[in-house]
């Protein structure tokens, strides 16, 4: 059994829903995970914003517009009155629920209930459409098996047990269908796995059922060796190691959510990135691949701030690093890159929310300087230190670009360079030219 996950654009219109149904019907008895139709979760966030601000009219207008969009989708999707009616009723019920949040109190708890509706709607549409097409589909309600524990981490044992029970109840199904992204927390309240979390759902299900493979279907033919928005002629990478994929997902390749890799890696389940528009293309296969001493891809992460702390007293001072890192911890800001010398340390962060207080605190330990609008360029591949020459290739490619920081050796899979935002596109292009000629 495989787990097949389809993102928002893959189910973004009536036609796309039909295409996905046809595609999965051909691929055998699998578990299908759906995102909300594209744009829906953003609309639900907007509705919640209005409700937080007690702007009931704003919320109503957005709800009406979203509902009207779904009614048009239903019109296009169904050929028979019976299934059109069933789908309409299911969707109306969801919108009645969304409209019921017009009371004075609106908190995170209510917001999460609203955010969960997108996936409930997309799966209801798909379920009824598959029924109409004669597919023996069974719904596995995510809110009955997907759960997080008291640390907000997935409760793997619970997921495995509950999912096992649900699957055993319907052994004859052709296809199982479920919602990505949504879950319950340790207290049974509705929650979610963070924005973009449907990939994580797929991976957690894959791990729970020991799937043969996890397929992530989007509208691009796999992970590319550079960012196609800025570099011409990028190519899909055909194979990646789990660790390489994790670095790329984290450092900006939007195609796969970073959390998705870990459950697959721990259970050694291959992840394949595929394209709904070109279902026969090879895409990218992520697995426990053998080292091949090659550079696979380049990615960039925007909105980075570099902070340098220089201290003459740091020389040979133990405990200095701890004090510096503790300041970031106190201000709940995570650090991406680190470079050190005997007299100073530079770190990067991707969130300036607490920058002011961080700088104030750091000044107790040394002279602080900040560079805004920086970009991390991340080169990923089998870069084990015994391999020769790849550092030289990377540095040579960027010889005409000012580099603020370099970090290598933290893992065997990545070399990161910090450059100015204004140099990003040129840096990406120079690297592609040199590394993937």
Residues forming contacts to ligand ASP in the complex (CB under 6 A) are 7-8, 35-36, 41, 118, 180-181, 195-198
Whole-number Cα distances in Å, 119 to 181, 198, 208, 252: 8, 9, 20, 25
User: Whose Cβ is closer to ligand ASP: residue 41's or residue 416's?
Assistant: 41
**Residue 154 binding target from Mg ion, ligand ASP, none, CB below 5 to 8 Å by type:** none
- Give 7 or 270: the residue with its C-beta nearer to Mg ion: 7
> Residue 5 has which token pair?
């996950």
CB of 7 to ligand ASP, least distance (A): 6
Q: How far is the CB of 286 from ligand ASP (least distance, A)?
A: 18
Cβ nearer to ligand ASP, comparing 65 with 321: 65
7 or 283: whose CB is closer to ligand ASP?
7
Partner in contact with 92, chosen from ligand ASP, Mg ion, none, beta carbon below 5 to 8 Å by kind: none
Query: Which CB atom, from 10 or from 346, has the smaller least distance to ligand ASP?
Result: 10
Closer of 5 and 112 to Mg ion (Cβ): 5
With respect to ligand ASP, which residue has the nearer C-beta, 8 or 381? 8
Q: Which does 41 bind (CB under 5 to 8 A by kind): ligand ASP, Mg ion, none?
A: ligand ASP
**Closer by beta carbon to ligand ASP, 181 or else 251:** 181
- Scanning 53-140, the segments in alpha helix (DSSP H) are 56-77, 81-99, 108-115, 117-132
Residue 86 Cβ, how far from ligand ASP at the closest point, in Å? 23
Catalogue the E-assigned strands of 279-425.
284-287, 295-310, 335-340, 344-349, 367-381, 403-408, 414-420
User: C-alpha distances in angstroms, 98 versus 105, 120, 127, 190?
Assistant: 14, 12, 21, 14
Which chain residues interact with Mg ion by CB under 5 A?
A: 7, 196
Residue 363: CB atoms within 10 A of its CB come to 11
Q: Cα 310 to the chain's mean position, in Å? A: 36
Residue 407 interacts with which of ligand ASP, Mg ion, none, CB < 5 to 8 Å by class? none
Instruction: Give the pairing type, strands 367-381 and 414-420.
Output: antiparallel
Closest approach of Mg ion to the CB of residue 65, in Å: 23
Q: What is the nearest approach in angstroms of Mg ion to the Cβ of residue 197?
A: 8
Q: Which residue from 169, 167, 170 is spatially nearest to 209, judged by alpha carbons?
A: 167
263 touches, from ligand ASP, Mg ion, none (C-beta below 5 to 8 Å by class): none
What's the CA gap between 432 and 437, in Å, rounded? 7
Q: Which does 180 bind (CB under 5 to 8 A by kind): Mg ion, ligand ASP, none?
A: ligand ASP
Outline where 258-337 has alpha helix (H).
Answer: 261-266, 320-330
CA-nearest of 107, 102, 5, 21 to 63 is 102
**Rounded least distance, CB 252 to ligand ASP, Å:** 17
283 binds, options ligand ASP, Mg ion, none, Cβ within 5 to 8 A by partner type = none
d(CA 182, CA 142): 7
Least distance (Å) between residue 200 CB and ligand ASP = 8
Q: Which residue in the block uniquely carries the two structure tokens 């992970």?
A: 223
Residue 195 interacts with, from ligand ASP, Mg ion, none (CB under 5-8 Å by kind): ligand ASP
Strand partners, 215: 4, 272
Q: How far is CA 423 from the centre of its chain?
A: 26
Residue 118 contact, options ligand ASP, Mg ion, none, Cβ 5-8 Å cut-off depending on partner type: ligand ASP
Q: What's the min distance (Å) between Cβ of 39 and ligand ASP? A: 9
HSE toward the beta carbon, residue 237, CA cutoff 13 A:
28
Cβ neighbours for 436, distance < 8 A, ≥ 6 positions apart? 225, 226, 235, 295
Least separation in angstroms between CB 34 and ligand ASP? 9
* Of 7 and 366, CB closest to Mg ion: 7
End-to-end CA distance of the chain: 39
């Amino acid at each position: 059994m495989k787990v097949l996950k389809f993102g928002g654009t893959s189910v973004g219109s009536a036609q796309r829903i039909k295409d996905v149904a046809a595609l999965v019907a051909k691929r055998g008895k699998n578990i299908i995970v759906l995102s909300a139709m594209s744009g829906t979760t953003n609309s639900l966030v907007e509705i919640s914003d209005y409700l937080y601000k007690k702007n009931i009219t704003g919320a109503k207008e957005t709800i009406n517009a979203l509902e009207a969009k779904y009614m048009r989708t239903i019109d296009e999707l169904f050929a028979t009155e019976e299934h059109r009616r069933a789908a309409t009723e299911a969707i109306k019920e969801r919108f009645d629920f969304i409209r019921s949040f017009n009371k004075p109190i609106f908190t995170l708890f209510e917001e999460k209930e609203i955010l969960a509706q997108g996936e409930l709607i997309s799966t209801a549409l798909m379920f009824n459409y598959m029924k109409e097409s004669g597919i023996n589909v069974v719904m596995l309600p995510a809110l009955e098996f997907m759960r997080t524990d008291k640390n907000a981490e997935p409760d793997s044992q619970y997921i495995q047990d509950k999912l096992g029970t649900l699957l055993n109840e319907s052994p004859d199904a052709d296809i199982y269908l479920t919602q990505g992204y949504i879950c319950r927390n340790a207290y049974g309240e509705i929650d979610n796995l963070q924005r973009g979390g449907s990939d994580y759902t797929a991976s957690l299900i894959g791990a729970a059922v020991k799937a043969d493979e996890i397929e992530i279907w989007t509208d691009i033919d796999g992970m590319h060796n550079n960012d196609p928005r800025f570099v011409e002629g990028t190519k899909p990478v055909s194979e990646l190691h789990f660790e390489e994929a994790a670095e790329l997902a984290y450092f900006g390749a939007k195609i796969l959510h970073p959390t998705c890799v870990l459950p697959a890696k721990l259970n050694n389940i291959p992840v394949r990135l595929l394209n709904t528009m070109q279902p026969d293309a090879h895409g990218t296969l992520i697995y426990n691949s053998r080292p091949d001493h090659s550079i696979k891809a380049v990615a960039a992460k925007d909105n980075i701030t570099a902070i340098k702390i220089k201290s003459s007293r740091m020389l040979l001072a133990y405990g200095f690093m701890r004090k510096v890192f503790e300041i970031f911890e106190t201000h709940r800001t995570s650090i991406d890159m680190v470079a050190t010398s005997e007299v100073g340390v530079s770190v990067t962060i991707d969130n300036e929310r607490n920058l002011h207080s961080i700088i104030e605190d750091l000044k107790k330990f040394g002279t602080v300087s900040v560079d805004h609008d920086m970009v991390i360029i991340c080169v990923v591949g089998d870069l084990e230190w015994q391999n020769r020459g790849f550092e030289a290739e990377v540095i040579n490619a960027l010889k005409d670009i000012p580099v603020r920081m370099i970090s290598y050796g933290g893992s065997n899979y990545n070399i990161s360079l910090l450059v100015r935002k204004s140099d990003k596109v040129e840096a990406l292009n120079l690297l592609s030219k040199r590394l993937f000629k």
